[in-house]
Amino acid sequence: MMNPIILEQIKSLYTENIEPLELLGGFHNNVFLSRNHKMVIKILDAETYRKINLLNEQEIINLMLLHGIKTPSLIPSKNGTPIELVEGKEKKFYLMAYSYIDGEVLSPSLKEDHLIKAWGKLLGKMHEITKLSSHAMKQNYLEWNHDIKNEDFAKGHGKIIEEKWKGYMDAFSALSKNENNYGIVHHDLHNENIMIANKDMYVLDFGDVRRSWYVYDAAIPSFHFMENNRNHTKLEQLQIYQNFTNLFFEGYAEETALSEDQLKLIPKFLEYRLLYSFLFFNNSFKGNEISTKVKSHLEKMRFRIENDVPFIPVL
């Protein structure tokens, strides 16, 4: 249920008859839908979310729409602004409203080859757009590691985890950055951030936009797809991985290029994403009760990380 103090401010900023509001989800159960107005509203804790991130999201959404990428557009408030700051009982919150797209997100066990290839092609086009438009973008985009605070991000999770984390931070800090391999990326284009509506493919949730390596951004869909398919045998997992990456990067290459040196980094970025995800979820749930299912999943992730279980199955 939405905080009534926030609800009244949403009504005054957008429309009085915005109810009923349905909880769509979001990592913090902070995304709501008004079907009456085909509007999705995000409520963001101002202590957690920096306004610069929201301004970055606003600019990248407008840029993608300008270049033909389908994504929900931002809906301005009655004040004509797409980002509003409101007062809760004890905290301040940012509000952002988006047009609602009625469709289906990609299945975690996606088997349609043409959709996997289209997914890769879409990300390739997004990368090419930011490469060609970087000179005209006005926002100061945050760096790849702005939200992980290096050693502190892994602190308290055990010696093995802490040492592995430091190793990745040192290795990535030494990686080259140039206009061809490093730029503004989505950073979270897993299957649930791709929606099919009226046979078109839409990109959802630019909330994690930042500067990073294009190849890391291109590895993220493979990571999440494989994590969704761990209930198969090793041989089946390997076949799934090979089929997915072949199709995905075939589509990607139709729009932009990754060098051989960049492609060689994919296994390392996949292993890193596992550690990053483990720490992100642990830190996010800190101080909160964790369900048995989530706890079991985190324990399995820890085992894989600490015992160097290859992300890409080895037969």
Instruction: Return the minimum-mean-pLDDT range out of 33-47, 136-150, 191-205.
Output: 136-150
- The total of other beta-carbon atoms located within 10 Å of residue 292's CB is 7
- The band of 289, judged by pLDDT with boundaries at 50, 70 and 90, is confident
> Quick one: pLDDT at residue 299?
96
CA distance readout (Å), 55 to 20, 64, 163, 204, 234: 28, 14, 35, 16, 43
Distance of CA 134 to the CA centre of its chain: 20
Buried b (16+ CB within 10 A) or exposed e, 82-98: bbbebeeeeeebbbbbb
> Quick one: pLDDT at residue 255?
98
Q: Nearest to residue 123, comparing CAs of 33, 255, 32? A: 255
> Quick one: pLDDT at residue 243?
97
Residue with tokens 């950073």: 187
Q: What is the spatial distance between Cα 144 and Cα 157, in angstroms, rounded to a whole number?
A: 22
> Quick one: pLDDT at residue 307?
97
- The answer to whether the CB of 60 falls within 8 A of the CB of 74 is no
Residue with tokens 């004509």: 80
How many CA within 13 A on the CB side of residue 27? 13
Q: What are phi and psi of 14, to 5 degrees?
A: -120, -70
β-bridge partners, 308? none
The DSSP call for residue 135 is: G
Instruction: Return the minimum-mean-pLDDT range out of 71-85, 148-162, 202-216, 228-242.
Output: 148-162
For residue 287, pLDDT over 80 is answered with: no
Q: Nearest to residue 310, comparing CAs of 257, 241, 255, 209? A: 241
Q: What is the spatial distance between Cα 195 and Cα 186, in angstroms, rounded to a whole number?
A: 15
Residue 142: CB partners within 8 Å, gap ≥ 6?
Answer: 52, 53, 56, 210, 211
Q: What is the spatial distance between Cα 287 and Cα 289, in angstroms, rounded to a whole number?
A: 7
- The band of 4, judged by pLDDT with boundaries at 50, 70 and 90, is confident
3-state secondary structure at position 259? coil
> Quick one: pLDDT at residue 187?
98
> Quick one: pLDDT at residue 98?
98
For residue 144, pLDDT over 70 is answered with: yes
Average pLDDT over residues 251-276: 97
Q: What is the spatial distance between Cα 154 and Cα 164, in angstroms, rounded to a whole number?
A: 9
Mean pLDDT over all residues of the chain?
94
| H helices present in the chain, as ranges | 4-13, 51-66, 113-133, 151-154, 159-173, 214-227, 234-253, 260-263, 266-285, 292-306
For residue 217, pLDDT over 90 is answered with: yes
CA torsion angle 73 21 190 48 (round to 10): 90
> Quick one: pLDDT at residue 150?
62
Q: What is the spatial distance between Cα 228 and Cα 17, in angstroms, rounded to a whole number?
A: 39
Average pLDDT over residues 168-197: 96
> Quick one: pLDDT at residue 1?
66
Q: What is the spatial distance between Cα 103 and Cα 194, in angstroms, rounded to a whole number?
A: 10
